Amino acid sequence: MESVLESVKSGIIRAITGAAEKARAEGKIDFETLPEFVLEVPREKGHGDFATNIAMLLARHVKMQPRRVAEMINEYLDTAGTWVARREIAGPGFINFFLDSGWMYAVLPRIEEQGNRYGSSDTGRGKKVQVEFVSANPTGLLHMGNARGAALGDTMASLLQAAGFDVSREFYINDAGNQIENFGKSLEARYLQQLGHEVPFPEDGYHGQDIIDTVTGIIKNDGDKYVDVDPVLRREFFIKHALEEKLNAIKRSLENFGVKYDNWFSEQTLHESGAIDKVLDELRERGSIYENDNALWFKSTEFGDEKDEVVVRSNGTPTYFAADIAYHKNKFERGFEWLINIWGADHHGHVRRLKGAVEALGYDPDNLDIVLMQLVRLFRDGEIIRMSKRSGEFVTLDDLVEEVGRDAARYFFVMRSADSHLDFDMDLAKSQSTDNPVYYIQYAHARICSIIRQLEEKGGALPEARDCNLLLLKETAEMDLIRKMIDFPEEVSEAAVNLEPHRIARYAHELAGLFHSFYNSHRVIVEDRELQDARLALVISTRTVVGRALELLGLTAPESM
């Protein structure tokens, strides 16, 4: 359904187009095709509710002063039935439109009618999208980078769903390759060490306490029965056992963070099914692969990369990159029309070559978007928490959720755009004060619930917006709040299409701010029953929109605080 904003704007745009064409028909101005003008909301309130730049764009073609063109168009402009009350020509040639404020009231019955669907749209037209995020190595615990990826990916997916895309959330499990071999060797060494054998620990092994715990668990169940087992079989067992344990822990952590996947995709299956060999054959046929030094290389330089990349090592084993190519082909084969990957910025070097590989396979690389997110720095007591496995100070996702809570953690991770470095202030995230944006937003929701409770205690009934005299809402604070809610559907689809969840974090904060202003200057429960009903309609809608914004961000909407 067309939003309130869209329908008002499209009416004015039609009028502008009509005026330009009429002026041309009467020989006043001459142009072949109308330039792509915009009808936008000016920054300055004094410049009207909407403004168009059509005159400045046309001026270039018709070789007239922009203001003269504006006057011409203004003369032919018929804005009957568009809510436009007044218009002016200003600045270098803008035509500003001032609307009768009545145009805004329609949003309240709209929100009431759509409820939690308000803000959703058909922008995506059911396009199949896959968001792949976190995809952490199943050999360790989830760190801050994974946590930010989880919050960003999950929120993007929610936004895309709201914008009418058919979304699937996926986690790629790196359960194959060198690092897994290494993982197996580490487990094996720990196992033997725990049982008193003097064995060296692998040079690049996994030093964490967590794998010692895993091994202790194995010993508890099976004792020393693997000491005399063939090492290859032994490692195979350890890997299988440990991966399952780790993966379950990762799943639990993410669920605890409010993130649920539609699919967990195992890299190992690509090796076992022959998908990797197949995709390499295909690339070879297409001439994108060559042999050098007994290894196979992908010609990524043909796609703008700095150098070519090995896909099969001289020892015959495929690289991670080879698996990734097969994985992305698999994604397209599953019918996804738009692939979104969320990666840490330290992986940016792989973007070119993966897109190159996608292109080499005959797919459009523009259908693969790789969102790079900058790293997270944790602050506590004003100091950076330096995390390293060696120092032992290592904050995991579980630690973070336990310390600051899931809502604060999720909000802080998405409140900045992905490509800005994130300074995560643990003290601020924990504080239950005005400084904390999470509480600020949730408090707005709780306050509205409180008003409604008060009303019900007094035996009052909730009105329906369409039965209210909404014209009674004419205070600045009321109109600002209504105007903001009108923007919500566009805000959601813009945030979705541009993969910018921070816009919704910001929007929620601004909306809450407008509500708090209103709350402090006007009472809802008042003597005047008609006014009370109109204001109730206003705050009920506000609760819906704040609640929906919180929901999209994956936060709870408390009824009292």
Partner RNA sequence: GCGCCUAUAGCUCAGUUGGACAGAGCAACGGACUUCUAAUCCGUGUGUCGGAGGUUCGAGUCCUCCUAGGCGCGCCA
Rounded to an integer, what distance in angstroms lies between the CA atom of residue 239 and that of residue 232? 11
Indicate the residue among 23 and 511 with the shorter CB distance to RNA: 511
Strand extents, DSSP E, 408-458: 422-425
* Other Cβ atoms closer than 10 A to 219: 16
Residue 178 within binding range of RNA, rule CB under 7 A: yes
Cα torsion angle, 203, 205, 208, 210, sign: negative
Rounded to an integer, what distance in angstroms lies between the CA atom of residue 426 and that of residue 418? 19
Among 420, 456, 467, 474, binds RNA (CB under 7 A): 420
Torsion of CA 28, 31, 32, 37, to 10 degrees: -120
Residue 262 within binding range of RNA, rule CB under 7 A: no
Span from 75-83, 93-101, 104-112, 355-363 in contact with RNA (CB under 7 A): 93-101
279: which 2 tokens? 């995709």
Rounded to an integer, what distance in angstroms lies between the CA atom of residue 223 and that of residue 313? 38
Residue 560 within binding range of RNA, rule CB under 7 A: yes
Among 76, 94, 165, 191, binds RNA (CB under 7 A): 94
Among 212, 370, 446, 531, binds RNA (CB under 7 A): 446
Indicate the residue among 3 and 192 with the shorter CB distance to RNA: 3
Residue 186 within binding range of RNA, rule CB under 7 A: no
Among 454, 466, 469, 529, binds RNA (CB under 7 A): 454
| CB distance 495 to 401 below 8 Å | no
Residue 201 within binding range of RNA, rule CB under 7 A: no
Q: Provide the residue type at 231 as one letter.
A: P
- In a 13 Å sphere around the CA of 350, the CA atoms on its Cβ side amount to 20
Indicate the residue among 216 and 476 with the shorter CB distance to RNA: 476
Cα-trace Rg, the chain: 29
Residue 61 within binding range of RNA, rule CB under 7 A: no
Shortest approach of RNA to residue 295 CB, angstroms?
A: 4
Kind plus residue range of the DSSP H or E element containing 266: strand 263-266
Span from 220-228, 317-325, 358-366, 393-401 in contact with RNA (CB under 7 A): 317-325
Residue 458 within binding range of RNA, rule CB under 7 A: no
Report DSSP letters for 480-535, one per residue.
HHHHHHHTHHHHHHHHHHTT-THHHHHHHHHHHHHHHHHHHH--SS-S-HHHHHHH
Among 26, 423, 467, 530, binds RNA (CB under 7 A): 423
Residues 492-521 that bind RNA (CB under 7 A): 494, 497-498, 500, 502-503, 506, 509, 513, 516-517, 519-521
* Helices and strands (H and E) in the chain: how many: 20, 15
Rounded to an integer, what distance in angstroms lies between the CA atom of residue 215 and that of residue 218? 5
Residue 273 within binding range of RNA, rule CB under 7 A: no
Indicate the residue among 226 and 265 with the shorter CB distance to RNA: 265
Residue 51 within binding range of RNA, rule CB under 7 A: yes
Shortest approach of RNA to residue 198 CB, angstroms?
A: 27
Residues 6+ apart with CB under 8 A from 558: 442, 445, 446, 449
Indicate the residue among 41 and 219 with the shorter CB distance to RNA: 41
Residue 527 within binding range of RNA, rule CB under 7 A: no
Residue 116 within binding range of RNA, rule CB under 7 A: no
Indicate the residue among 190 and 416 with the shorter CB distance to RNA: 416
